[in-house]
A and B are shown apart, each in its own frame.
Chain A
């Protein structure tokens, strides 16, 4: 007998063998656990067995983590999947009455009423600038500079020397907007300064890009907000406001609804840049 006769454990070696794996998994009931421990306390052979099993379990789990966990490509959701899910959720979220009142039919109705050209308003959906900005924003790549690391005042300055234009983001006065950070991005193959903002419920992504040839930002529905003409576009469930300040084009991607985005942009553009 591998255990001392006077200790009278409640279970024998065969019994322990049957529960060893459950023991190693930490899944025995309290009573079973106590019985197993009593047996192990006086059985060297079973102790070795359980230890070996424990090492094997730990080794296999470690290999599984290395091969299939977040450190391997098998265990990391691809960026494209994240972006697809984000877009799908944005669509899913929209209640029926919003879909019925989507910008396109509204714009079309307004256009007919005003006798304007319908074709102008079909740009409201599917503008290439808005599409690209939304795709890049929703990909949610890691930020290269964060407010947490350099302070909110220094984020715009971080872009100096990295992009060929002065980065002067608007100051958002309304809607509890908090700058999170920024990164270098691209819009239409041009380097863009990208800044991400946190809202109480949702996010904003601002792209600033230089466009001296004035090729960008012609689509959407024009609105006069403060001193600027802002074009409102919709892409994949996001509303995008695009405006220009001389050579610089600003594209603001948001999950706000259109009136809220208009108010936010209007408040930002009617104050001078810092």
Chain B
């Protein structure tokens, strides 16, 4: 009986040790998935307890961070089932992602430095608003890639989707996010807009360089 008990203490200490380094990141992700603090706390607690129950299946020496994020997103998906509408939004034709990458190339050509300047002036609330406005499938991938800095392959494993799907969701999600950020920046007057309401990066750039 004493041996059982010791084993259990050691397991908990090891689990809590590994968890400690990830708790803030798990909470940050849960906050953006659920979009409110109470649900985020419940989601993290559920996921952590599930992870602990399955801790014997975690292979020592593999990536704990990816493993527990997989449990977090699974718990989220199971608990908050997504609507049919959101699904169809995501799984559009693959060629769209190609077009969007080309479009983004144009935007990036134009943007460059100015983008860095006015992104820097956005208030955090705008960033939160822009992320939260993304459809859930895009939001998950963008958070995992650009906040948690997981690789395509890790995200594919975490969400149990093909790498190609990770890429198309990520690229489209980023375009949507960048557009919202630009819109917010324009609203707060950091970026000039043309008469038709579109963003005039060219004049912003020339004004900066003056």
A residues neighboring B (CB under 8 Å):
14, 17-18, 20-22, 25, 27, 48-49, 51-53, 55-70, 72, 74-78, 80-82, 84-86, 88-90, 92-95, 97-98, 201-202, 255, 257
CB distance from B50 to the nearest CB of A (A): 10
How many B residues face the partner with a CB closer than 8 A?
A: 62
Q: Are A70 and B16 in contact (CB under 8 A)?
A: no
Q: Are B128 and A68 in contact (CB under 8 A)?
A: yes
CB distance from B111 to the nearest CB of A (A): 6
B residues neighboring A (CB under 8 Å):
1, 4-6, 8-13, 15-16, 19, 23-28, 31-32, 37, 41, 44-45, 48-49, 52-53, 98, 101-102, 104-105, 108-109, 111-113, 115-116, 119-120, 122, 124-125, 127-128, 131, 143, 145-147, 149, 151-152, 167, 171, 174, 177-178, 181
- A contacts with B: majority SS: helix
CB distance from B38 to the nearest CB of A (A): 10
What are 18 inter-chain pairs, A to B, with CB distance below 8 A? A20-B101, A25-B152, A27-B152, A49-B108, A55-B115, A55-B116, A57-B146, A60-B181, A61-B147, A67-B127, A68-B32, A77-B23, A78-B41, A81-B44, A89-B15, A98-B5, A201-B9, A255-B9
A48-B109, A74-B32, A85-B23 given; name 5 further pairs at CB < 8 Å.
A17-B102, A20-B101, A68-B128, A72-B124, A255-B9
CB distance from B110 to the nearest CB of A (A): 8
Docked pose: A82 CA to B127 CA in angstroms: 26
CB distance from B190 to the nearest CB of A (A): 13
- Which chain A residues border B32 with CB–CB below 8 Å? 68, 74
Q: Are B128 and A88 in contact (CB under 8 A)?
A: no
Q: Are B8 and A55 in contact (CB under 8 A)?
A: no
